[in-house]
Homo-oligomer: A and B are copies of this chain.
Amino acid sequence: MSGHHPARSRRATERKGDVRERAILDTCEALLAQKGYDAMTVGDIAQGAGITRGALYFYFGSKQEVVTALVARTVEHLWERSRATAQADEPRQAIAAAMQRTVELWNEHGLVMRTAIDLSLTVPEIGELWSHTADLFIAAITAVLERAGVEAGTEPEQASAMARALCWMIERTFYHASQESRENLQEASSTCEHIWLISAGLIT
């Protein structure tokens, strides 16, 4: 869409640093898959990104900050996709759609999501990010349960509390399944969907 506005639209957005930053994050993701968080050193990341440790510290203040940025980038993607998914009216369809979406998300970003969960304790900012994400999912599950006829409220047997438990069930089940294989992920999804449907009173 470059019109003919003179000197206004230079490549104002493509700074050299932005490219490097992405390279660092990409390398970090690759190394995370390959060696895990603890074994991955700042030197490794820098080397993978084609710079030295000193240069990396120009972009990020610490190893934790790098990983936090990576999680933030991924989580933002999650939010975006969640927003984009249309909410079906029919609870059964909504549940099926949600589980399908969840499978895709874990297939695509399982690694980063797992590390986000693992680091939630030790890195407060990541914990913040992840708990916010969980809250979104809990709210969505709550809405579906209520639409399916589960009594609204926060008491142990009402929609909100049940949604929270179901969310943790899904998180943990996918967490483990995504370490294994795609087939496991699909089976895990079926199981979670089944329990969700039962909990909503949609099947016996």
Q: Enumerate chain B residues within 8 angstroms of A187, measured Cβ to Cβ.
A: 156, 161
Residue A162 interfacial (CB < 8 Å): yes
Contact string, A23-65, partner B, CB cutoff 8 A, digits 1/0? 0000000000000111000000000000000000000000000
* Residue in B closest to A201 when the chains form the complex, CB atoms: B204
B-binding segment of A1-9, A12-20, A72-80, A166-174: A166-174
Copies per assembly:
2
CB neighbors of B among A185-204 (8 A): 187-188, 190-192, 194-195, 198-199, 201, 204
Number of chain A residues close to chain B: CB under 8 A: 31
A165's contact among B156, B162, B195, by CB below 8 Å, is which?
B195
Q: Enumerate chain B residues within 8 angstroms of A191, measured Cβ to Cβ.
A: 156-157, 161-162, 164-165
Chain A interface mostly helix, strand, loop or mixed? helix
Contact status A194-B162, CB under 8 Å: yes
Residue A176 interfacial (CB < 8 Å): yes
Q: How far is the CA of A156 from the CA of B162 in the complex (A)?
A: 21
Residue A122 interfacial (CB < 8 Å): yes
Residue A118 interfacial (CB < 8 Å): yes
Q: How far is the CA of A166 from the CA of B37 in the complex (A)?
A: 29
Contact status B195-A195, CB under 8 Å: yes
Q: How far is the CA of A57 from the CA of B162 in the complex (A)?
A: 47
Contact status B121-A190, CB under 8 Å: no
Q: How far is the CA of A129 from the CA of B176 in the complex (A)?
A: 16
Q: Enumerate chain B residues within 8 angstroms of A175, measured Cβ to Cβ.
A: 168
With A190-B156, A191-B156, A195-B199 known to touch, is A165 a contact of B161 (CB < 8 Å)? no
A172's contact among B168, B201, B204, by CB below 8 Å, is which?
B168
Q: How far is the CA of A196 from the CA of B121 in the complex (A)?
A: 28
Closest A-B pairs by Cβ, 4 of them: A169-B169, A156-B190, A168-B172, A172-B172
